[in-house]
Amino acid sequence: MGEMSSFQLGVIGALFLSVASSVSIVICNKALMSNLGFPFATTLTSWHLMVTFCTLHAAQRFNLFESKPIDMKTVMLFGILNGVSIGLLNLSLGFNSIGFYQMTKLAIIPFTVLLETIFLKKQFSQKIKMSLLVLLVGVGIASITDLQLNSVGTILSLLAIVTTCVGQILTNTIQKRLNVSSTQLLYQSAPFQAASLFVSGPLVDQFLTKQNVFAFKYSSIVSAFIILSCIISVSVNFSTFLVIGKTSPVTYQVLGHLKTCLVLTFGYTLLHDPFTERNIIGILIAIFGMVLYSYFCTQENKKKQADPLVSQMKDKEGAPFLGLEKEGQEDKNADKDSHV
């Protein structure tokens, strides 16, 4: 019982850290890009990852966590895949309207469910699927304003969806099947993510913005916001791996849409962004979907706990939004090989 309570507190803490840090970095980056005119999102992300790795390396040197070796090929492919997915998402935003880009982000949840059902034989109940549908409808109403299609943008969006889903599924799978912590996996993979974006980032940004990141005039206030963004990113990257490892890729995406609702709300409150009745209705519907998702996951986990035979025979979606049960306890004793 004590171990379960400790796990619950750990998950709730991870969820809170993820929400707080993500909303903070969105506000910081919005000020940096919109108000201060620094448009180099992909290059900024590579700096985030380099700072994250340096921070974790310093922590490891001070014995704050133990580094665990992971197969180099697995880590390299995993890191590059995550780096590529970030670049593709930025390209998708550059080639598509904001409305279509939001549709791309919404499509990540159903595609993740599809991949986990096909390749990991995971089962999602009708109640879980219904709650996710309510959530997606709410976020769509709140955030999608226009839909403009083009062939290049559509292809980039599809590639971004696939790489993002696979990357997040692997984040969860590697941690559980290789028995490594979120910190250990992030420490091993961050250099490869940073390297892939450090090389491609300036090219992607120059293609999208027609500006050179190295020719940009860095004022003291721009530099200060970049440093602040990099500091916050350490928490964002750490909490991302932590949440996916403790819950599931789908739960992380649900959490991501809560962040979207909070960003819209904070944008209206703090930055006086336009806010309509449609935004309010969409956010309320999305929150209702999140509550349903958490409730149904919690109920299913209680049933699994009460019936060990069902828990052994079926690997249902067992990561409630509020983290009231540890997902996939049997996975740690199952296949020890990576899916990469």
**DSSP letter assigned to residue 244:** H
Using one digit for the tens of pLDDT, what is the confidence trace for 141-151? Answer: 988 776 677 88
Distance (Å) of CA 322 to CA 123, 264, 313, 332 = 20, 22, 24, 22
- List, in sequence order, the alpha helices (H) in 96-121: 98-119
Query: 302: helix, coil or strand?
Result: helix
Q: State the Cα–Cα distance between residues 201 and 194, nearest whole angstrom.
A: 10
Position 17, amino acid: L
What share of the chain in percent tops pLDDT 90?
56
Residue 288 located in a structural domain: no
Distance (Å) of CA 194 to CA 23, 45, 76, 87, 171 = 22, 8, 11, 11, 16
Flag whether pLDDT at 337 surpasses 80.
no
Residue 282 located in a structural domain: no
Q: Which domain holds residue 174?
A: 13-132+146-247
Residue 274 located in a structural domain: no
Q: How many domains does the chain have?
A: 1
Distance (Å) of CA 58 to CA 52, 63, 240, 290, 309 = 10, 9, 20, 37, 45
Using one digit for the tens of pLDDT, what is the confidence trace for 251-295? Answer: 999 888 888 788 777 777 766 667 788 888 998 999 999 999 989
Residue 94 located in a structural domain: yes
Q: State the Cα–Cα distance between residues 27 and 115, nearest whole angstrom.
A: 32
Half-sphere exposure of 160 (CA within 13 A, CB side): 25
Q: State the Cα–Cα distance between residues 275 and 264, nearest whole angstrom.
A: 8
Mean pLDDT score, 196-209: 93
Using one digit for the tens of pLDDT, what is the confidence trace for 293-302? Answer: 989 988 887 7
Residue 81 located in a structural domain: yes
Mean pLDDT score, 184-189: 95
- Take residue 168 and report the two structure tokens written for it: 């997040």
Residue 64 located in a structural domain: yes
Q: Would you say 234 and 24 are in contact if contact means Cβ atoms under 8 Å apart?
A: no
Residue 103 located in a structural domain: yes
Q: Cα(first)–Cα(last) distance of the chain, in Å?
A: 35
Q: What is the pLDDT of residue 301?
A: 78
Q: State the Cα–Cα distance between residues 339 and 250, nearest whole angstrom.
A: 18
Residue 202 located in a structural domain: yes
Flag whether pLDDT at 10 surpasses 90.
no
